[in-house]
């Protein structure tokens, strides 16, 4: 039976430090191949060269066929490239700008096709929230905000929940004010693995890090841990 997988990382991983590559190893374990193909999409960072270098350093250690897609130089055949991968990894940065560029190139639709075919979708920060209906982003310099995302899975997601001090108060404020009904919050050095759109597992690769859902019930905020 075909299984769909999304691994949404709240913060950390190879973009900060190669470390023990625990979450990267977990993502690769979802593909039963000795040498899986993985494609890095660093659009949210403006195709940052140092970010790409860290990607290749990380996944070369893990026996992968590694490649990446640039959207700010001459752009290759995206459909052919994406659909020949086993894993997609989306980097962090400006989510709003990333999604705008993807839609201009039709990459959002290509990624949806890839997801439906069972290609593993993964990423950190912008690359974590992009798969949900909506995401809480710091794409704007002066505020956090809620933006529409790809809608592969239901819900509103917030990364860096314990890493950036403004995140938790913002989430609680918009829940209290009935702007949203619930929020999936992912701490740094933690990932939420979503299987077949409806099975959730929290993967900690730090010190007791968590993924959680906060919602309002009878005028109280309730927290449930995945």
Q: Please give the positions annotated as active site.
A: 125, 160
Residue with tokens 């055949």: 77
Cβ–Cβ under 8 Å, residues 124 and 11: yes
- Cα torsion 52, 106, 145, 177: sign: negative
HEC string of 12-26 equals CCCCCCCCCCHHHHH
Cβ–Cβ under 8 Å, residues 114 and 83: yes
| DSSP 8-state class, residue 107 | H
Rounded Cα distance between 190 and 170, Å, is: 20
């Amino acid at each position: 039976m075909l299984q769909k997988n999304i691994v949404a990382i709240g913060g950390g991983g190879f973009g900060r430090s190669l470390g023990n590559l625990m979450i990267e190893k977990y993502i690769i374990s979802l593909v039963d191949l000795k040498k899986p193909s993985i494609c890095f999409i660093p659009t949210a960072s403006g195709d940052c060269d140092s970010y790409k270098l860290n990607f290749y350093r990380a996944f070369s250690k893990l026996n992968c066929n590694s490649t990446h897609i640039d959207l700010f130089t001459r752009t290759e055949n995206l459909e052919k490239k994406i659909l020949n991968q086993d894993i997609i990894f989306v980097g962090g940065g400006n989510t709003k700008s990333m999604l705008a560029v993807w839609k201009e190139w039709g990459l959002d639709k290509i990624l949806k096709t890839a997801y439906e075919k069972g290609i593993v979708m993964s990423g950190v920060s912008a690359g974590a929230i992009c798969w949900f209906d909506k995401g809480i982003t710091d794409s704007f310099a002066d505020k956090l905000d809620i933006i529409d995302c790809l809608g592969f899975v239901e819900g509103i997601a917030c990364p860096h929940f314990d890493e950036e001090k403004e995140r938790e108060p913002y989430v609680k404020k918009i829940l209290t004010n009935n702007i949203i009904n619930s929020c999936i919050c992912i701490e740094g050095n933690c990932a939420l693995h979503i299987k077949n759109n409806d099975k959730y597992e929290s993967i900690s690769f730090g010190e007791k890090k968590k993924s959680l859902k906060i919602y309002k019930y009878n005028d109280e905020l309730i927290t449930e841990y995945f």
